[in-house]
Amino acid sequence: MTKQKHKNISLYFACIIFLLLSAVFLLLSFNVVKEVPRVSECSRSRLSQGIPFSTYEKLPNISYSKELSVCSELEAQTISGIGEVKPVLINENFFDIYNIYVSGSKITKEHITTKAPAIVISDKAALSLNLDKNVVGKTISLWDKEFTIVGVYKKPSGFLREISSDVYDRVYVPYTCYKDYSELSIDILTAPKSSYSEKGLPLMGITKTDKEFYIKNDLTVKHDIIANFPILLISVINLIFVIFVIKIISSMFRKSYHKLHKEYNHEYFSILIRKNFLYLLVRLILSIILIAIPTTLFILFTPKLILPVSYIPYDNIFELKHYLLAFTNEMQLNNAKLIVANNYYQNLSFNSIFILSILLIIQIVLLIIISKHMIKKIGKKNEQTT
């Protein structure tokens, strides 16, 4: 009896851990999905010259350039009252493309064209200057020049955000405020996925095969992978539930089968169907539905989770060369030392996928343990009743 109680306690403990992990898992997935933008980034290699701001300014003012974000990160500077920060030169689309909330005003087109000395700082920097964060309208000195604070952005917080960002705080200014901006190289060009801006990147000299100057980082794929993690968890739970139901039904059938076999000998099969027709029909339909749901979920979503879209060949899935090329491109992106501007989103997506994968494996193990224990328990109860 004591052993049975201990078994029950361990089962309840496993269930509580599973529920807590599921809550953390879902919360983490939804929060990261909100933050990782569905965009394509083209990051300049540290060893290359890249495209200067003067080339960007020559772009015709048509639809493909309206959603394009450009930025360049400069050497760290010390600002009185804040400390060491990294200035980032941006255009008017930067905050909108990355979905960064700014209280006050963002950097606007007017700031760019008039070369207004405007600056957007983090909430952490605002607290250093003023405890109530009400710093909009105040001035700070940068490059021996007075800049007016027009907005305050929320700096990422939390465990995942902390390990994904570096030690530097960043301040954002219009790129035209920097005196020698014209021939300064753009570090990152960003455009929403499948937008006219993304299609217009080749007009600036950025192509799919151009790996010497800029390397493409598709954050949309990473966003979709993280977004599909909860669906994978639900499909795994559903699949284990299907196995659980089928095992119970098969054990019930086995008992009915042996009982009728003893009683009616040769005619047991036809009697089994006649006496239990509705019983069999309902359970058959239920089994088909239960099997169809997780199977459909796996068909629709699992390929995206196991392999990014770029890894899957369009015509021949057995083409080894395609897989090797996709893997090489991914390794080049991760290992090319592209520490130009803030690589926060790339780190955030990588860390999130890694942690979510570990949590998912633990959850699957717990589910299997709980399911096995429940099947044994129901089997014993069936034996006792018979």
The predicted structure's pLDDT at residue 142: 92
C-alpha dihedral sign at 156, 30, 95, 214: positive
68 and 166, same domain (yes or no) = yes
226 and 367, same domain (yes or no) = yes
Radius of gyration of the chain (CA): 29
Helix locations, 265-319, DSSP H: 268-275, 277-306
46 part of a folded domain: no
- What is the pTM assigned to this prediction? 0.73
Of 370, 355, 348, 377, residue with least CA distance to 162: 348
210 part of a folded domain: no
**How buried is 268 (Cβ within 10 angstroms: 0-12 exposed, 13-18 middle, 19+ buried)?**
middle
Give pLDDT tens digits along the chain (386 positions): 555 555 577 788 888 899 999 999 999 998 898 888 888 888 887 666 778 888 888 776 554 556 888 899 988 899 888 889 999 999 999 999 988 889 989 999 999 999 999 999 998 888 888 766 688 889 999 998 999 999 999 887 778 888 888 878 899 999 999 988 888 888 888 888 877 777 766 666 665 544 457 777 888 888 888 888 888 888 788 777 777 777 766 666 666 666 655 665 555 556 666 666 677 677 778 777 777 776 776 666 655 555 555 556 666 666 667 667 766 666 655 555 444 556 788 888 888 989 999 999 999 899 888 887 877 776 666 555 55
231 and 357, same domain (yes or no) = yes
268 part of a folded domain: yes
User: Which residues constitute the domain of residue 201?
Assistant: 52-205
94 part of a folded domain: yes
The predicted structure's pLDDT at residue 316: 61
249 part of a folded domain: yes
211 part of a folded domain: no
The predicted structure's pLDDT at residue 7: 59
152 and 246, same domain (yes or no) = no
Domains contained in the chain, number: 2
The predicted structure's pLDDT at residue 378: 66
Q: Give the up-direction half-sphere exposure of residue 116: CA atoms within 13 A in the CB hemisphere.
A: 18
273 and 155, same domain (yes or no) = no
173 and 231, same domain (yes or no) = no
The predicted structure's pLDDT at residue 339: 45
Angle at 96 between CA 90 and CA 98, to 5 degrees: 80
74 and 28, same domain (yes or no) = no
242 and 172, same domain (yes or no) = no
